[in-house]
Amino acid sequence: MNVTRTARAGRRTVRLAAVTLAGATVVALAPTAATAAGGTAAPPAVSADAAARVDLGPELRAVVERGSSTAALGEARENGRRVWRDATGVADLDSQRPARADGRFRIGSVTKTFVSTVTLQLADEGKLRLDDPVEHYLPGVVPNGGAITLRQLLNHTSGLYDYLSDPRFLFEDEASLRSYLADRRWKTWSPAQLIEVGVQAAPYFPPGQGWHYSNTNYVLIGEVIRKVTGHNWRSEVDRRIVKPLHLNDTTFAGARTGVPGPHAHGYAKLPEGPADITLINPSFGDAAGDGISTTADLNRFHAALFGGKLLSPARFAEMTTAVPAPLIFAHYGLGLIRYDLSCGEVWGHTGGIPGYNTLWLGAKDGTRQFSLSYNLTQGSETDDTLTTLNAFIEKASCGPAGAATTDTRTAKSPFTLLP
What is the set of active-site residues? 109
Tell me if 347 sits within 8 A of 96, measured CB to CB: no
How big is the CA angle at 157 (ends 152 and 161), to the nearest 5 degrees? 110
Distance CA 25, CA 342 (A): 9
Which among 364, 278, 374, 340 has a CA at the least distance from the CA of 56? Answer: 374
Sign of CA dihedral 109, 111, 115, 121: positive
Which helix (H) or strand (E) element contains residue 222? helix 215-229
Tell me if 25 sits within 8 A of 339, measured CB to CB: yes
Distance CA 106, CA 85 (A): 18
Helix/strand/coil for 15: strand
Q: b or e along 75-112 (b: 16 or more beta carbons within 10 Å of the residue's beta carbon)? A: bbbbbbbbbbbbbbbbbbbeeeeebbbebbbbbbbbbb
Which among 265, 306, 305, 370 has a CA at the least distance from the CA of 24? Answer: 370
Q: What is the DSSP letter of 76?
A: E
Helix/strand/coil for 14: strand
Full DSSP string of 403-418:
HHH--TTSSSSS-EE-
Which among 18, 20, 287, 332 has a CA at the least distance from the CA of 166? Answer: 18
Helix/strand/coil for 238: helix
